[in-house]
Structure 1
Amino acid sequence: MKYIDHIADPKRACAIVAHRGGWHHAPENSLAAIENAIAGGYDIVELDIRQSADGGLFILHDDTLERMAGIDRIPEEMTIAEITSLRLRMADGGPDQPFTTETIPTLEQVLETVRGRIFVDLDLKDREMMGIVAAKVKELDMADQVDLKAPAGTPEALSWLAGQRGIDGIPFMGMAFFREESADRTAEAILSIRPFMCEAKFDRLETLAGQHQRLREGGISLWVNTLDQVSCCGLTDSAALADPDAVWGRMMAAGISVIQTDQPAALKAYIEARPK
């Protein structure tokens, strides 16, 4: 099934996004973490994309290699051969985590690994890479399986998007912050470009819930993060582990049908235990 068709399916359960892969038993953003996400039966894996000094595309979140590879260098100043030779620390890294045999993967390696197995959210650490990443996705015939995303909730964001070339044919997710005083304008901006999904932040969950129906009628599904570091209104993974009904259940009741989490196994168990 194509990514867009899967997200548009009204019969599907809430889709689970594994943030940086299934990293609790493998280094984040590694091929092993992707395999864990596939084995876990999750819908989408989120991965961070950067570009080396010689133009190679690779998978890493941080601005430096310190946390995950133990060296204080800027990866964009290194060659792709240097970067992909580095071994990764276990899980979310740091000095207390041991090094593994996993190395930093290239985007090409990732796309070949996921082909026909799981959908991929490509989080570009520099949005100016969008055309380059889109070209690689098309070259590998993976346009039906990945998304690209960028801010799309303001006139300035829409103006930037209008200048992008070569991203047509690849599922696009708009990103927006819904505030009570401007939620209608934000929704109109998103609806003007009709992405298949909207990654939403909000001042109150009720603000976003109030826009759900018009976005759904426009063919746009809502994606929300419960990651502890970037969640809204205290609706975090940590809170969800203590009371999933108060976080994940409340989100689903508000019309959110895609949740990105660092606790995908717990979210999956919760969804499966809910009354059908």
Structure 2
Amino acid sequence: MSSSRDPHDVPLDIRPARPARARAVRPRPVRPRPVRTLVGAAVAAAALVLSGAAVVAVDRPGPAQTADAPAGGHAARTPAERAYRDLLDHGPDAKVLTAAHRAQWRSAPENSAPAILAAFADGAEIVELDVQLTADGVPVLMHDTTVDRTTDGTGRVDDLTLEQVRRLRLRAGLGGAQAPLTDERVPTLAEAMRLAKDRGLVNLDKGWPFREEIWTVLQETGTVRNGLFKSGAPVPEVQEFRSTHRGAVYMHIVTDTNVADVDAFGADQPVAYEVNFDSTADVVARRPFLDRVASGSRVWSNTMWDGLAERMTDEASLIDPGRGWAALLRSYRTTIVQTDDVEAFERWLRTGAGDPVPHGGVRVQAEDFLPGEGVGYHDLDPANRSNLQMRPGEGVDIQDLDGAVSLGWMRGGEWLTYHVQIPRTGTYEVAVRASSPYSPAGAYTVSFDDGAPSAPVDVRTTTSHAKQELQPSGVTRRLTKGPHTLRIGLPADAYQNWNLDYVQLTP
């Protein structure tokens, strides 16, 4: 299947994926200790002593009677107040904060009210929301400048009035032409801030051009301390805004193109820096720069796809946290992680586990099919159309999706056979971890030990080529302890356009 990605998912500068090694059929690596309370141990030495003058983030006091935070010295009364105070903590033992990219889009449409509530419920302290301005000057939540991808409408947001935008229905997940329509509507920023007021913080992405309109909303909703302005604008422009907007909370985007901004802020540092790098050789990825930033601000890293923090992604972290989340916290001074996998990241912070195999279960990586065309697999095209040449001479299409090794270019009539070792006699349910922006995405059958195949199981859209999700099949089989063969077949009469990461059997 095509492994191209939705335009809104693709960074502008992605280096070719480096070859990945085949993964053995075994539980994914697990880090044995909780992380939130131990981050300081990894970075304390570097944070205690720095050469030169220390830089200090300034928390400008807000209006004397703000409704959204208590006076200094009082215990935080709400999760939002705790998140705000944690945000201001830049010490070596500061709590690692979770930022939900476009809120919890896996549960509801991106940038929607249910997605905001789900993100906070799943443990995020921060939701990243995108702001656009309607034709009549109302800030609304929308990632793109048009409504085309995420709604049933068309046109630029700034050409539509609020009333017109309100008529539109949001599409599920990350949207796209084939994403199912929901009954959810486009929220205003004011509605979003009221939802966040007692729950957590809001990263106001894409909102810098509309900062005055956003500021008005924050004042009117009593959420000045909940809203986190962000930009990579020239420092004088940023400082003019901060000096005239009492209480504004601000973070700065930094790459190799504007490293001098850190010094330009002087002692009046932003509360955080979003540090983006596509290579660990970049200046902003090196320890001296990161130590300077972390001495007075938080370091925010993005792990949604390749090229934001080199190849330290959510998908790489699920295979081995040491290739992603753990590496960022250990070696790159990261204390805020923006992720597309909030629940998985929160689980890792609590337990050290990336994507563990359920107790008593079996997981087979998609690329570990048995060898031999017509014996272990059948592929209609003898060439590997994807970007990983892991198994030379075999035509199955193996690809790297932001750190996950998966199979693509699925076509009806193809099949794959796997060896599975069942640990205990019992009944097992089959699930696949898959992705597709299409609906229908495809279908597959399951058979064991050359037996009859199951009825076709539909693959559900994940609204993105690269965003994979575990999908239970409802197919169960009683299997005896010991070796078995498992075949995944692709019905020839079904549309097929999906990616397969792994097959899982759960008792």
- Aligned counterpart, 1:137: 218
**Contact 2:97/2:335 (CA < 8 Å) preserved in 1?**
yes
Asked if residue 6 in structure 1 is aligned to residue 86 in structure 2, the reply is yes
Cα distance between partner residues in 2 of 1:38 and 1:49: 19
- Aligned counterpart, 1:115: 197
2:184 is matched by which residue type in structure 1?
Answer: E
**Contact 2:84/2:201 (CA < 8 Å) preserved in 1?**
no
Identity value in percent: 27
Matches within 5 A, 1:1-276: 1=76, 2=81, 3-9=83-89, 10=91, 11-125=93-207, 127-151=208-232, 157-164=234-241, 166-178=244-256, 183=259, 185-191=260-266, 193-202=268-277, 204-205=279-280, 207-217=285-295, 219-228=296-305, 231-254=308-331, 255-274=333-352
Cα distance between partner residues in 2 of 1:195 and 1:216: 11
2:178 is matched by which residue type in structure 1?
Answer: D
**Contact 1:23/1:33 (CA < 8 Å) preserved in 2?**
yes
The secondary structure found in structure 2 opposite 1:93 is coil
**Contact 1:178/1:186 (CA < 8 Å) preserved in 2?**
no
Cα distance between partner residues in 1 of 2:134 and 2:267: 34
**Contact 1:228/1:237 (CA < 8 Å) preserved in 2?**
yes
Relative to 1, partners in 2 of residues 1:16 and 1:205: Cα closer, same or farther, differing over 3 Å?
farther
Task: Between 219-228 and 231-240, report the one with greater CA deviation.
Answer: 231-240
Cα distance per residue 1:138-189 (max 9 Å; x no partner):
222111112101115xxxx11322443743311100111147xx85x34313
The secondary structure found in structure 2 opposite 1:252 is helix
**Contact 2:313/2:324 (CA < 8 Å) preserved in 1?**
yes
Relative to 1, partners in 2 of residues 1:19 and 1:230: Cα closer, same or farther, differing over 3 Å?
farther
1:52 is matched by which residue type in structure 2?
Answer: T
4+ residue segments displaced more than 6 Å: none
Cα distance between partner residues in 1 of 2:286 and 2:159: 40
Gaps of 5+ in 2: 1-75, 354-507
**Contact 1:178/1:208 (CA < 8 Å) preserved in 2?**
no
Higher helix content, 1 or 2: 1
Cα distance per residue 1:6-60 (max 9 Å; x no partner):
1233444321100011111200000010011011011100000011001111001
**Contact 2:278/2:308 (CA < 8 Å) preserved in 1?**
no
Relative to 1, partners in 2 of residues 1:38 and 1:227: Cα closer, same or farther, differing over 3 Å?
same
**Contact 2:278/2:306 (CA < 8 Å) preserved in 1?**
no
Cα distance between partner residues in 1 of 2:254 and 2:290: 13
Relative to 1, partners in 2 of residues 1:53 and 1:38: Cα closer, same or farther, differing over 3 Å?
same
2:338 is matched by which residue type in structure 1?
Answer: Q
Cα distance between partner residues in 2 of 1:92 and 1:229: 18
Aligned length: 266
Cα distance between partner residues in 2 of 1:274 and 1:229: 22
Scaled by the length of structure 2, what TM-score is found? 0.49
The secondary structure found in structure 1 opposite 2:324 is helix
Structure with greater Cα Rg: 2
**Contact 2:278/2:307 (CA < 8 Å) preserved in 1?**
no
The secondary structure found in structure 2 opposite 1:102 is coil
The secondary structure found in structure 2 opposite 1:213 is helix
Shift of 1:190: 4.6
**Contact 1:172/1:196 (CA < 8 Å) preserved in 2?**
yes
**Contact 2:262/2:269 (CA < 8 Å) preserved in 1?**
no
Cα distance between partner residues in 2 of 1:265 and 1:55: 35
**Contact 1:57/1:107 (CA < 8 Å) preserved in 2?**
yes
